[in-house]
Amino acid sequence: MTVCFVSHDAGLGGASRALIELVDALQNLGIRCRVVVPGKGRRCDKVGLGAGRCFKRPT
């Protein structure tokens, strides 16, 4: 199964940290995750998803 999350913010506030924890937990269960974030921000680096799994959309 693959789950795609679309985030409204690329910052590292409370909701973003919760998303990172959720992605980590799901990956540990063998679920593939994809994350779409706004073009600016650091979340793709922090989520721990390799290339092709975290996508930056134009703002």
Structure confidence by residue, pLDDT tens digits, 1-59 = 999 998 887 677 788 788 888 888 998 899 998 888 887 656 666 655 555 577 777 76
The 3-state secondary structure of the chain reads: CEEEEECCCCCCCHHHHHHHHHHHHHHHCCCEEEEEEECCCCHHHHHCCCCCCEEEECC
How many whole angstroms separate alpha carbon 1 and alpha carbon 54? Answer: 16
Q: Full-prediction pTM beyond 0.75?
A: no
How many whole angstroms separate alpha carbon 48 and alpha carbon 59? Answer: 22
Q: Which of 38, 40, 34 is nearest to 19 (CA)?
A: 34
Domain ranges of the chain: 2-57
